[in-house]
């Protein structure tokens, strides 16, 4: 077994991207983030030339924050949990290719701007509003354990953007917000307090920016690292948003909570 591997990285800024290769030692437990840290410590490329450290983002280092997401051997995933040995075994190759996400504006090297995703979360009010009337010393509204269980997986979304990266409908010509914010509508509408804003959220899911932008290709659910049932969320919110549109058209009261 060769005791080194090559990390082939697409670097640069939007106007000037280029490939740079680094040769690194294979070590037990090494992942892409630790490989990038090793380059940061000693930024010398495969040709032996001193170079600039690679720019990338990371936070939690345990697949919770989503900030280290990138394309690794073409697959959207988190660098902090992508083990070098597994990647070599998966591809039967000691050359690992790392590129920034292509569906978000590039800032530099592996860093992209995921503002669009966060702005979509704001539009769909991906939070529970409290109006100050709750007595915080008392427990809030009860949620049945089986409902809690079904909602838990939705709450694990880390806004990593892998689903948008894998979705053919998210591209330069579309205004589709992507599946993650739509799945968050499902989560917050199912909460007894969140349901007070159910209709507002469903209205945001209407149109090309929302559910109409989805082409039902189902790639999103396949690439989600948290195995969130995105296609189920899209179908459910699609039905509820349509009912909301009918209620609005007929000037009926908002959706029941
Ligand atoms: S179902 Fe397909 S088109 Fe719809 S959000 Fe998922 S990947 Fe995109
Ligand atoms: S739904 Fe999955 S893939 Fe999409 S942002 Fe959330 S965790 Fe990432
Ligand atoms: S550093 Fe947070 S998911 Fe990788």
Find the CATH number of the domain harbouring 244. 1.10.1060.10
Question: Where does a domain end: 81, 111, 141?
Answer: 111
Residues 106 and 136 in one domain: no
State whether the beta carbon of 221 lies less than 6 angstroms from ligand 2. Answer: no
149: number of Cβ within 10 Å: 10
Cα 81 to ligand 1 centre (Å): 25
Residues 220 and 129 in one domain: yes
Structural domain for 163, as ranges: 114-249
State whether the beta carbon of 31 lies less than 6 angstroms from ligand 3. Answer: no
Question: Where does a domain end: 47, 77, 111?
Answer: 111
pLDDT of residue 119: 96
Residues 201 and 223 in one domain: yes
CA distance 132 to 128: 12
pLDDT of residue 2: 76
Quick check: is 257 in a domain?
A: no
Q: Which residue has a Cα nearest atom 2 of ligand 1? A: 217
pLDDT of residue 132: 64
State whether the beta carbon of 183 lies less than 6 angstroms from ligand 1. Answer: no
Question: Where does a domain end: 82, 111, 140?
Answer: 111
Residues 44 and 101 in one domain: yes
pLDDT of residue 133: 61
Asked if 193 and 130 touch (Cβ cutoff 8 Å), the reply is yes
- The half-sphere exposure of 2 on its side-chain side, counting CA atoms within 13 A, is 12
Pocket-testing residue among 80, 151, 226, 230, ligand 2, by greatest number of atoms within 8 A of Cβ: 226
Give the tokens for residue 252.
């009926």
Residues 62 and 96 in one domain: yes
Whether the predicted model's global pTM rises above the 0.85 cut: yes
Quick check: is 172 in a domain?
A: yes
Residues 37 and 83 in one domain: yes
Give me the average pLDDT of each 10-residue run along the chain (257 residues): 92 98 96 97 97 97 97 98 97 97 98 97 93 65 90 97 97 94 97 92 94 90 97 96 94 77
Asked if 99 and 11 touch (Cβ cutoff 8 Å), the reply is no
Residues 242 and 131 in one domain: yes
Quick check: is 177 in a domain?
A: yes
Structural domains of the chain, count: 2
Residues 128 and 106 in one domain: no
Q: Which residue has a Cα nearest atom 6 of ligand 2? A: 157
Residues 240 and 133 in one domain: yes
């Amino acid at each position: 077994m060769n005791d080194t591997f090559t990390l082939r990285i697409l670097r640069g800024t939007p106007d000037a991207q280029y490939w740079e290769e680094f040769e690194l030692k294979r070590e037990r437990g090494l992942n892409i983030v630790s490989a990038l840290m090793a380059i940061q410590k000693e930024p010398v490329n495969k040709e032996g030339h001193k170079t600039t450290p690679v720019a990338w983002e990371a936070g939690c280092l345990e697949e919770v924050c989503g900030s280290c997401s990138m394309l690794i051997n073409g697959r959207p995933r988190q660098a902090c949990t992508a083990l070098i040995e597994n990647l070599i075994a998966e591809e039967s190759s000691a050359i690992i290719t790392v590129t920034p996400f292509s569906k978000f504006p590039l800032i530099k090297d592996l860093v992209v701007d995921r503002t669009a995703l966060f702005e979509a979360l704001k539009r769909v009010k991906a939070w529970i509003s409290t109006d100050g009337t709750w007595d915080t010393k008392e427990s809030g509204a009860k949620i049945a354990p089986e409902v809690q269980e079904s909602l838990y997986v939705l709450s694990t979304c880390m806004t990593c953007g892998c689903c948008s990266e894998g979705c053919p409908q998210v591209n330069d010509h579309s205004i589709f917000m992507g599946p993650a914010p739509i799945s968050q509508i499902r989560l917050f509408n199912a909460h007894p307090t969140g349901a007070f804003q159910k209709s507002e959220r469903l209205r945001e899911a209407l149109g090309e920016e929302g559910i109409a932008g989805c082409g039902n290709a189902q790639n999103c659910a396949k690439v989600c690292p948290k195995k969130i049932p995105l296609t189920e969320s899209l179908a459910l919110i699609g039905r509820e948003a349509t009912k909301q549109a009918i209620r609005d058209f007929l000037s009926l009261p908002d959706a029941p909570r």
